[in-house]
Amino acid sequence: MNPKSKRTRRNDPKALRNHVLDVAARLFQARGYHATSMHDLLQKTGVSGGALHHHFPTKKSIGLAVISDRIAPTVRETWIDPIRAATSLRKGIASVFAAIIIGVEARDAIAGCPLNNLALELSACDPDFRKAIDAVFSEWQAALMERIGRTSGGARLDRIKRSDAAAFIISAYSGAMTLAKASQSASALRSAAGILARWLRDRDLETIEPARL
């Protein structure tokens, strides 16, 4: 970083905040929250201790902001918006998996789903982290439930069954991404995509069109 860009950020609190969150989100995703120190954040962001402390008095406040301002929007962009926009739930889920598989295969290493990574690292150690993470899962699940309700099979399900189906889709994806990270291979994501597509078809959770006969 050159001195000019540093000065620019110092004079632009919003840009500085965004820069810190971008760097923190990247480090948490690559190494984890606990393995990233405040020293790492100072060094990698290039901001002064005073400026960092002014925006984020604690490392925890950076963690919470990464969840709400980086991870929640990522879940919206990769999952919620495409599912809402898709002509059918099955096609929406297929395209989400396809995009994620392309994404993980384009990178050198499979770092996993940022929400799942922080969920397992932080849910048990701090109630504020757990609530922030649970809120993102809940938003994701609610969006899937709403879309399931607009399918032939889903319209016949009660609220609890729609909630179960939504949780199952998130679970199958989340677990497949864990296997992908552990094996450094997208194959569990591919198999989950194929099995979920057939499951959605069998349960009539495809479109609002009349059920296939």
Contact residues: a copy of itself, CB under 8 A: 30-32, 34-35, 109-112, 116-117, 119-121, 123-125, 130, 133-134, 137-138, 163-165, 167-168, 170-176, 178-179, 181-184, 187-188, 190-192, 194-195, 199, 202
What Å distances lie between residue 20 and 7, 43, 72, 113, 130, CA to CA? 15, 11, 17, 20, 22
- Of 164 and 209, nearer to a copy of itself (C-beta) is 164
97 close to 189: Cβ distance less than 8 angstroms: yes
Report, in Å, the least distance between residue 150 CB and a copy of itself.
20
CA angle 71, 73, 79 (to 5 degrees): 95
Within 8 A by CB and 6+ apart from 199, the residues are 205
- Of 12 and 202, nearer to a copy of itself (C-beta) is 202
Residue indicated by tokens 């889709």: 169
Report, in Å, the least distance between residue 171 CB and a copy of itself.
3
- Of 28 and 56, nearer to a copy of itself (C-beta) is 28
Report, in Å, the least distance between residue 125 CB and a copy of itself.
6
- Of 70 and 162, nearer to a copy of itself (C-beta) is 162
**Residue 59, both tokens:** 């490392």
